[in-house]
Amino acid sequence: MKRALFPGSFDPITLGHTDIIVRSLDLFDEIVVAIGDNSQKKYMFDLDARKSFIQAIYKDNPKITVVNYSGLTVDYCKKIGADFIVRGLRNPADFEFEKAIAHTNRKLSGIETVFFLTAANTSYISSSIVREIIANGGDYTSLVPPEVRV
């Protein structure tokens, strides 16, 4: 069985994230959407809310599991038997940042990172942009799945 981990803060999950998750199902038997817990970060949505959003989106898809984790991503991959990490790339800056992490992860653990280019219609969406729109009372509903519309 090919299991992949898709890690992130998902604060909140966006249509860009969901596009990557759905497209990655063609390559893997299971996708574990792993919500990282970073004590240094201030989140708009607490961990339970972020997990609930994602679980609601994929409640009918047995190939997608939603978990939370802390610590090194590669350590969590080893713990659950995931040989791959899935990451989305929106732009060249994402690539440079993610490339360094992917090389480090492979050196530390042998775990490969699989990159997906975001779809053209979602490449401009980021959780930080969505949070800014929400914080300022703007209409963010076209950027997130219906389950996130609070």
- What average pLDDT is seen over the chain? 95
List domains and CATH numbers for the chain.
3-148 (3.40.50.620)
pLDDT value at position 73? 96
**Residue 129's beta-bridge partner residues?**
none
Burial of 26 (0-12, 13-18, 19+ CB in 10 A): exposed
What is the model's pLDDT at position 40?
81
List the catalytic residues. 17, 41, 90, 127
- Report how far residue 87's alpha carbon sits from residue 114's, in angstroms, rounded to the nearest whole number: 6
Compute the distance between CA of residue 148 and CA of residue 68 in angstroms, rounded to an integer. Answer: 18
- Which residue pairs from 115-119 have beta carbons closer than 8 angstroms and sit at least 24 positions apart in sequence? 115/87, 115/88, 115/89, 116/20, 116/23, 116/24, 116/86, 116/87, 116/88, 116/89, 117/88, 117/89, 118/16, 118/19, 118/20, 118/88, 118/89, 118/90, 119/16, 119/19
CA distance 68 to 131: 20
Rg (CA), the chain: 15
pLDDT digits (tens, 9 = 90+) for 47-97: 999 999 999 999 999 999 999 999 999 999 999 999 999 999 998 888 999
pLDDT in tens, 2-20: 999 999 999 999 999 999 9
Structure tokens, 98: 């993610």
Which three-class secondary structure state does DSSP give residue 31? strand
